[in-house]
């Protein structure tokens, strides 16, 4: 495929005091951006916010209006600090409701061991729906364009991989140019190309401690031809001796 349609946008909300206090290092946002990128979805923002109903509600409503898809991580479970569902309900001004298929599932699974804490996990904002998997995986709850994932990395990954294909959209074409130079030496030249090829998005990253190259330039576009034209022009202007390789 030589050309891509304009893709979808997404925002990611990581919910949890444990991340903001340095007790746990978030790996879910990197997993999600990498997956979404490969699916052609353009992630425009990641927010890490506390376990606070009002903050969750405001962020969820803002992200839902701003992006095509919203992914949340964390704050689902039976304890007092699991506030994501209540936060979303508050942000959209809808009541909470016991979701019938979730409740049925819990009653079947836990039988006599069922208690209030487990039933709390069947409480969702009114209007939420679920994607059902097999009997072993807890369903994925979504509300409008907001997909609610658990914070435990293994569960988030398993669940995302089960639904990833529904988010596939257009692709990106990326070239990386490895240079042995200082950024300040090539900045003026790069700026010319950036201005001349507005459909191609350029990045310039200084690299430490590599014996071969000191900068990686990235050039990325949704259209292969546009990307190729921009890269060819840039390579034509760069001094030959600083170009280490092109990928």
What residues line the site for a copy of itself (CB under 8 A)?
14, 17-26, 29-30, 33-38, 42-50, 77-81, 115-118, 120-121, 152, 154, 172, 183-185, 187-188, 190-191, 194, 201-206, 208, 218, 220
Q: How far apart are CA 41 and CA 34, in angstroms?
A: 10
Least Å distance, CB 53 to a copy of itself, is: 14
State the Cα angle at 16 between 40 and 122, rounded to 5°. Answer: 85
Q: Which residues contact 83 (CB under 8 A, 6 or more apart)?
A: 15, 51, 52, 53, 56, 75
Least Å distance, CB 164 to a copy of itself, is: 14
Measured from the CB atom, is 82 or 125 closer to a copy of itself?
A: 82
Per the structure block, which two tokens stand in for 71?
A: 């992914």
Tally Cβ neighbours within 10 Å of residue 132: 13
Least Å distance, CB 15 to a copy of itself, is: 11
Strands 69-73 and 146-149: parallel
Measured from the CB atom, is 38 or 237 closer to a copy of itself?
A: 38
Measured from the CB atom, is 22 or 95 closer to a copy of itself?
A: 22
Measured from the CB atom, is 189 or 225 closer to a copy of itself?
A: 189
Measured from the CB atom, is 94 or 201 closer to a copy of itself?
A: 201
Least Å distance, CB 75 to a copy of itself, is: 11
Terminal-to-terminal C-alpha distance of the chain: 18
Least Å distance, CB 5 to a copy of itself, is: 18
Quick one: which of 50, 75, 34 has its CA closest to 10? 34
Measured from the CB atom, is 126 or 199 closer to a copy of itself?
A: 199
Q: Answer whether 207's CB lies under 8 Å from 213's CB.
A: yes
Least Å distance, CB 184 to a copy of itself, is: 4
Q: Which residues contact 132 (CB under 8 A, 6 or more apart)?
A: 101, 139
Quick one: which of 125, 128, 144 has its CA closest to 66? 144
Least Å distance, CB 194 to a copy of itself, is: 5
Measured from the CB atom, is 93 or 206 closer to a copy of itself?
A: 206
Q: Answer whether 33's CB lies under 8 Å from 167's CB.
A: no
- 3-class DSSP assignment, residue 32: helix
């Amino acid at each position: 495929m030589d050309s891509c349609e304009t893709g979808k946008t997404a925002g990611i909300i990581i919910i949890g005091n444990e991340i903001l206090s340095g007790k746990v290092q978030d790996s879910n946002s990197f997993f999600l951006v990498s997956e979404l990128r490969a699916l052609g979805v353009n992630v425009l923002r990641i927010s890490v916010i506390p376990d606070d109903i009002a903050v969750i509600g405001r962020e969820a409503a803002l992200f839902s209006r701003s992006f095509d898809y919203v992914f949340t991580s964390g704050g689902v479970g039976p304890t007092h600090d699991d506030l994501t569902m209540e936060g979303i309900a508050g942000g959209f001004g809808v009541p909470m409701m016991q979701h019938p298929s979730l409740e049925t599932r819990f009653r079947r699974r836990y039988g006599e061991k069922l208690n209030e804490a487990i039933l709390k996990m069947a409480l969702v904002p009114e209007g939420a729906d679920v994607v059902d998997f097999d009997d072993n995986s807890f369903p994925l709850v979504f509300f409008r364009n907001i997909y609610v994932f658990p914070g435990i990395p293994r569960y988030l990954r398993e669940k995302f991989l089960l639904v990833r294909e529904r988010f596939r959209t257009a692709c990106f074409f990326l070239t990386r140019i490895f240079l042995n130079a200082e950024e300040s030496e090539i900045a003026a030249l790069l700026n010319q190309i950036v201005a001349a090829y507005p459909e191609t998005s350029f990045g310039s990253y200084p690299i430490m401690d590599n014996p071969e190259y000191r900068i990686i330039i990235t050039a990325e576009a949704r259209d292969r031809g546009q990307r190729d034209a921009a890269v060819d022009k840039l390579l034509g202007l760069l001094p030959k001796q600083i170009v280490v390789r092109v990928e």
